[in-house]
């Protein structure tokens, strides 16, 4: 009986995209670099605090990078790293799954 | 500026697979039905309590189904629904991502 999963790489990935916002923020950068203000307008329902924390966590994990432009006022832009761009594959696969099965889940929840 | 994500289907999917265990439990059923005891041996580091809760939540969401065999002692088996089997696609894509980028994440965390 193979014993796996407890402490393997998938745990790193699973922890990384846990919760709604990390995946949503990564996806919202799929079209290219964006400023925090752009992201806030693009992502309905996210507070400034949660956006800032999520971006910081994604940066800490090497998924996004932050570029600061020495302008007045200073401009900050976030963009996906290579690891971030590759993360779009499972995120988009999950989006496809959700498009097909979200109603299945809702029905199951109601009939439970 | 498209406003999206806040309350769309992807949130259902993201919430569903949040945390390590739901994905790990779904993946551990990818080879076919299994009893809770089999799953516990297969998945290192999961407690009986967490496994039971995870299976119940996945059942509630229509991802797994539970079959009870009227034997002495009674036998219970869990298996993936169609939605559960389709969820293997993003989960396996995430596993591929982790295999390629887990070290990138660990390096970023250390150098942060």
Tell if the CB–CB gap between B5 and A61 is shorter than 8 Å: no
pLDDT, tens digit, for every residue of B9-47?
A: 777 777 787 787 898 899 999 999 999 999 998 888 889
Of B81, B91, B112, the CB nearest to A60: B112
State phi, psi for A66 to the nearest 5 degrees: -110, 130
**Share of residues in chain B with pLDDT > 90 (%):** 55
Separation CA A104–CA B19 (nearest Å): 21
Angle between helices B9-16 and A20-28 (to 10 degrees): 130
Are A36 and B37 in contact by the 8 Å Cβ rule? The answer is no
The band of B1, judged by pLDDT with boundaries at 50, 70 and 90, is very low
Q: Per the domain annotation, does A4 fall within a domain?
A: no
Best to test chain B binding among A45, A102, A103 (most B CBs inside 10 Å): A102
User: Which chain B residues have a beta carbon less than 8 Å from that of A96?
Assistant: 89-90
A112 has a pLDDT exceeding 90: no
Separation CA A105–CA B6 (nearest Å): 18
Greater model confidence, A103 or B5: A103
ipTM for this model: 0.84
A106 has a pLDDT exceeding 90: no
pLDDT, tens digit, for every residue of B52-65?
A: 999 999 999 999 99
Note down the domain range covering A17. 9-111
Q: Which among A65, A8, A20 has a CA at the least distance from the CA of B108?
A: A65
Q: Per the domain annotation, does B2 fall within a domain?
A: no
Q: Per the domain annotation, does A96 fall within a domain?
A: yes
CATH of the domain at A21: 1.10.10.10
User: How many domains does chain A fold into?
Assistant: 1
Of B2, B41, B62, the CB nearest to A42: B2
Q: Which among B37, B41, B98 has a CA at the least distance from the CA of B73?
A: B37
Q: Per the domain annotation, does B3 fall within a domain?
A: no
């Amino acid at each position: 009986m193979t014993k796996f999963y407890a402490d393997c790489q998938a745990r790193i990935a699973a922890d990384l995209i846990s919760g709604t916002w990390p995946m949503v923020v990564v996806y919202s950068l799929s079209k290219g670099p964006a400023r925090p203000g752009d992201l806030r307008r693009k992502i309905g329902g996210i507070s400034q605090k949660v956006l800032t924390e999520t971006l910081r966590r994604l940066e800490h994990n090497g998924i996004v990078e932050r570029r600061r432009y020495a302008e007045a006022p200073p401009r900050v832009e976030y963009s996906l790293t290579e690891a971030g761009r590759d993360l779009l594959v499972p995120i988009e696969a999950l989006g496809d799954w959700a498009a097909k099965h979200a109603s299945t889940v809702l029905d199951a929840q109601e009939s439970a």
